Structure 1
Amino acid sequence: MNTLLTRLEQRAVADGSHLEGPSWRDDALNAALEAESLDGEGEDALLRAVRLNRPDRATLMVWLDRDQLLRFLRERCARFRSLVRGDDAIADWDNPSIQRPYVGWYGAEWRGEAVEVALSPGGSASAASLCIAPDAATLKAFVAEASAWALRPAGRCLVYSGDWESAPELDQEMGRVTWDDIVLPPSVLARLREAVEGFFAHREAYAALGFPWRRGVLLVGPPGTGKTMVCKASASALPRLPFLYVRSLSARCGRDSIEEIFGRARHLAPCILAFEDMDGLVTEENRSVFLNEMDGFKRNDGLLILASSNHPGRIDEALLKRPSRFDRVFHLGPPALPERLACCRRVLASLAGCMDPRLDAERLAGAVARATEGFTPAFLKEAFTAAALEQAQAGETALGERFARGVLAQVRELRDHIRRSRDPEDLASMRTSADAIGLRRRGARDAEEAGGP
């Protein structure tokens, strides 16, 4: 970095480009890239270049969502343009079709003043950006407005996995799951809807009674009982509110992550803040910070916190036993017979276009529902899905009696799997074979160890 910056300084003084000319910005980005490759501090190279070439300008380093920051320049400023050659982007790890700038230097006019934003090399959505303005007062006002814009999601959803990022793929999911898709006892579903929708509908009542306008809802139960679907249905029921989803905390410092999460939620309130598998997010190291953020001195007006847990026994009692943190706890267990029957009917209805008209779907739904006590909705759906895929792979597209027999066979296999998964000794004997889905019949392991086939 020092060698490149020395050449940059010599060139700037020799040809006068420290006073005018676009080429120094390209050299500054190259210096930042070289610094990033050596020690990961590319933003220092950008700041040094600005101080050399524009010593009269005010600068401020910020860490904001870059996509939103550039969107602010495009939509809220005039004469937005790139001030350097080329276009360097980085693709999202999970979805390569989503790309964001890796480095760049942009100019625009904001309220009649020339402003610039230089993006330091960085792969995260909120890597360092250097804001440049003619004076400190203009810079302060510009950054304040740009920050308020950049803190908003590009669509409706934000996902946190060490940094907040807009989530277009989650935006596309919004509205696809509604309360009508949730299979729960009617009384439980009604209380869930009231806890979610009633909270936002009765803001004035909270104020009149002098209660803080916040709510925490905790969903507990084994995997596959519909906790994630309840979160999605809640978001669908409140389409005008931002939906903030916490996937994981930063590996660097969970305490800082929690403060960042709640800070963004307060800025966007009223909103929904969802924590999935919360028992794995709140640890001994960040417990006190999480408790303080939930109901400490900071106001959480307008926050509906939805949290789920597969292992409620691992959740700190301070979260469970104080109503100001989670004042509604819903236990979502395996469905009873009426709910299992409703679930089977819905799955079969989704397959109606492929079904043989001679198949008695209602009879099949009843048979499966009666045979699946202890099954979660996820296991129920798997029985039908696996049987349909097996038939499709055999070249049969019409789901008839063979499909029905296949569903019942899958039920038996899954029932055995559930039993084995509760017994570590039996679970150790699972295998993959032509006649079983990850299962081994009793005695097979002993025969194998004795030299049998």
Structure 2
Amino acid sequence: MAHTAPSRRSLQELEDAFIKVSFEADSRGDSDDPIKDPFYEPWFERGSGKFSDPTGFGATALRKLYPNYVVKSIVNAEVLGLPGTTVEPVTPADVISQLVFVPLARRIGDVTGVLTQSVRFGLFHVSWRGLEYLLYVTRFPAGFGESVVQYVLHDGPAENVEALVLAAGMFEHELHEEIFVFNQGWWSKDPGLWREVQKANWNDVILKDTFKIALQNDVRGFFASEDLYKALSIPWKRGLIMYGPPGNGKTISMKAIMKECDAKGYTPLYVRSFQSWMGEEASMSACFAKARQMAPCVLVLEDLDSLINNQNRSFFLNELDGLEDNDGLLIIGTTNHFEMLDPALSGRPSRFDRKYSFDDPDKDERALYAKYWQHKLKSNKDIDFPDSLVDEIAAATEKFSFAYLKEAFVSTLVLLAGKKEDEEKDFKTLLKGQIKTLRDQLDHSSLRDTIQATRSSGSGNSNASPSFGPRDQSALGRFAQSGRFSGGWNARPIEYHSNVAMPGGLPDAMGGNQLPMMMQGGGRDVRSMAKAAASLGRSFIA
């Protein structure tokens, strides 16, 4: 039997029938409310077959299921975490979630971690300020990651939904004992860095009074002088650079500035790196946009010589000098290598107005540092620390940085804590021994640097441009410790992030950062015991 070709009309009818059977739905549904927009039906009927739009599909489906409700989708505010809300799953068996174990720091206590639930799909009943809402939480793959979309449904005016979302958004984007940190292309709120900054104290910054007061007045005077700047018709912005060899107080001074500014309402913003998936220029734009939003604030750029390079320098200068309004921005940069900065950064006052040199301490500053430790240890009856020893230390530690001085004291305390009962070495003898050991290390390092510099100068590359490698990101990744991890529901995925605590060379209230040498004895962390005891003025001699 001969087969005849189907007509164009019959093919179209067959195609339409197949589409309806496969998708099992008509975009209009059974709603009694007629669609008034002539573009609405063809868009959702045919457009859904051309591209993936889960957010739009979800809103359309929910409007059909809840025709008397206001339906709003939100992506950047977490209603589940808003204080003052009561949240219950409508049908617990239908909630799809991931049970996530969040490890806690061992020093917190016997509890090693907590559990939290990260929702992938679920319907929740939300009560807030006497009003009732339904909240759908959905999560789906998007690009290289996942997207979280929440739908708020309310049997009432749209203003009630907007009030809830506004409150959730404001809470989500406010700081709650956190510091904004920019890294890998986005801003995050870091409670760990905030806690680290709170340990800083100007009393622990061992600098000459004239230098310290000048730095403090520069920061405090800027925020107090808005009216003066405007009266003189000059932009209310200022830039400072703190430079010098590592271990001489730049970081602890920065921590003290951030702590003071945060306490007075001037938000500190900390930039870890401009390197990101979107490129350094886009990262710079995002950083300055956030700073302008939060102004008046302090924008911290640590290791300027690594952040700014030949490729991004022009864009960075445009952000400093460009047409955008930078009123209220105090920009503080630090560098260990001032000579590597481009003159456009280091030599023009309108960009970075003042430069503070943190050189190796002179004899008077070394004496101040020795007196600092003398005061810390004065209540420890097992240590004899006369004024004469202060002078001896200041004389014997020429070219020592504050970090080297700190190591001399801490390693001495460790040796005292671990010495045997029949040993007769006292604090003074051990301290001088440690100073001699560190002196040998310092002299050896200086000789090695000299040899390396001689080899480099003879290689014919003396005019080569400096290399800007990736910044050190070796800190252990861990979960963000925040109020979300309390065992409740979370719409957002639980993510790891790096600890961005700032390194520091000077002692803080509880002993500061860990030092190179680690000694343990008898199952005890002797170094931690010694540092804690020294900070509290208690005896730690076994």
Distance 1:391 1:99 in 2: 42
Deviations 1:136-186 (A, max 9, x none): 986888766654443322224222222322222222234432222222222
Are residues 290 and 141 of structure 1, via their aligned partners in 2, closer, same or farther at CA, if it must alter by over 3 Å?
A: farther
Query: Which has the bigger relative contact order, CA under 8 A and spacing at least 6?
Result: 2
Q: Cα offset for 1:48?
A: 6.9
Contact 1:155 1:171 (8 Å CA) reproduced: yes
Aligned match for 2:400, one of 347, 350, 375: 375
- Per-residue Cα deviation, 1:254-304 (whole angstroms, up to 9, x for no partner): 222222222222222222221211211122333233222223122122222
Distance 2:422 2:297 in 1: 45
Distance 2:372 2:343 in 1: 38
1:288 corresponds to which residue?
314
Give 3-state SS (helix, strand or coil) of 2:188's partner. Answer: strand
Kindly provide the amino acid, as one letter, of the partner of residue 424 in structure 1. Answer: R
In structure 1, the partner of 2:283 is: 257
1:330 paired to 2:356: yes
Length-normalised TM-score, structure 1: 0.71
Corresponding residue of 1:195: 218
Name the structure 2 match of 1:403: 427
| Kept after mapping to 2: 8 A contact 1:223/1:310 | yes
**1-structure distance, mates of 2:322, 2:114:** 38
Q: In the alignment, which of 133, 141, 148 is matched to residue 129 of structure 1? A: 148
Instruction: Give the Cα separation in 2 of the matches to 1:355 and 1:11.
Output: 86
Judging changes above 3 Å, is the alpha-carbon distance between structure 1 residues 380 and 427 closer, same or farther for their aligned structure 2 residues? farther
Using the TM superposition, give the Cα deviation of residue 388 of structure 1 relative to its aligned residue in structure 2, in angstroms: 1.2
Give the distance between the partners of 2:300 and 2:391, measured in 1 at CA: 35
- Aligned to 2:334, what secondary structure does the other structure show? strand
> Is residue 344–residue 381 contact of structure 1 (8 Å, CA) maintained in 2?
no
**Other-structure match for 1:161:** 183
The match for 1:178 is: 201
**Tell me, which stretches of 5 or more residues in structure 2 are unaligned?**
1-20, 31-51, 65-69, 107-111, 453-516, 519-542
Of residues 312, 324, 332 in structure 2, which corresponds to 1:298? 324
**Cα contact 1:157–1:243 (8 A) shared by 2:** yes
| Cα separation, 2, equivalents of 1:98 and 1:249 | 33
8 Å CA contact 2:205, 2:252 repeated in 1: yes
Question: Within 5 A, what are the aligned runs for 1:349-368?
Answer: 349-356=375-382, 359-368=384-393
Q: Find the aligned partners of 2:268 and 2:245 in 1 and give their Cα distance.
A: 24
Q: Is the 8 A contact 1:217 1:307 kept in 2?
A: yes
Q: Check the 8 A contact 2:179/2:269 in 1, yes or no.
A: yes
Deviates more, 1:372-381 or 1:100-109: 100-109
Aligned residue identity for 2:245: P
Alignment map for 1:17-36 (pairs within 5 Å)? none
In structure 2, the residue matched to 1:340 is 366
Q: 1:154 to 1:12 in 2, by over 3 A?
A: farther
Aligned to 1:205: 228
1:320 aligns with 2:320: no
Counterpart AA for 1:291: L
- Alignment partner of 1:352: what SS? coil
SS in 2 for 1:195: helix
> Percent identity at matched positions?
29
Q: Which residue of 1 aligns with 2:247?
A: 224
Q: Which amino acid aligns with 1:75?
A: P
Which whole-Å CA distance do the structure 2 matches of 1:328 and 1:186 have between them? Answer: 18
CA gap of 1:416–1:397, structure 2 versus 1, over 3 A, is: same
SS at match of 1:423: helix
Report Cα offsets for 1:336-390 as digits up to 9, x if no partner. Answer: 1111101111123223344525x23322222111111111111101101111112
Q: Which residue of 1 aligns with 2:174?
A: 152
| Distance in 2 between residues matched to 1:313 and 1:110, nearest whole Å | 58
Asked whether the 8 Å contact 1:102–1:120 carries over to 2, the reply is: no
Alignment of 1:309 with 2:335, yes or no, is yes
Select 2:83's aligned residue among 75, 78, 82.
Answer: 75
What does residue 438 of structure 2 align with? 414
Once residues 146 and 296 of structure 2 are traced to their aligned partners in structure 1, the CA distance between those partners, rounded to angstroms, is 27
Deviation at 1:130, TM superposition (A): 1.9
Q: Give distance in 2, aligned partners of 1:156 and 1:339.
A: 34
- For normalisation by structure 2, the TM-score amounts to 0.61
Q: Deviations over 1:103-125 (max 9, x none)?
A: 45575467968474736479xxx
Say if 1:263 and 1:343 are closer, same or farther in 2 by CA, change over 3 A: same
- Report which of the two has the higher share of helix: 1
Q: Does 1:385 align with 2:404?
A: no
Asked if the contact 2:59/2:151 (under 8 Å) is kept, the reply is: no
Matches within 5 A, 1:45-60: 47=55, 50-51=58-59, 53-54=61-62
Judge which range, 296-305 or 191-200, deviates more: 296-305
- SS of 2:414's equivalent in the other structure is helix
Cα RMSD (Å) of the superposition?
4.2
Question: 2: distance between equivalents of 1:265 and 1:49?
Answer: 36
Contact 1:102 1:119 (C-alpha < 8 Å) held by counterparts: no
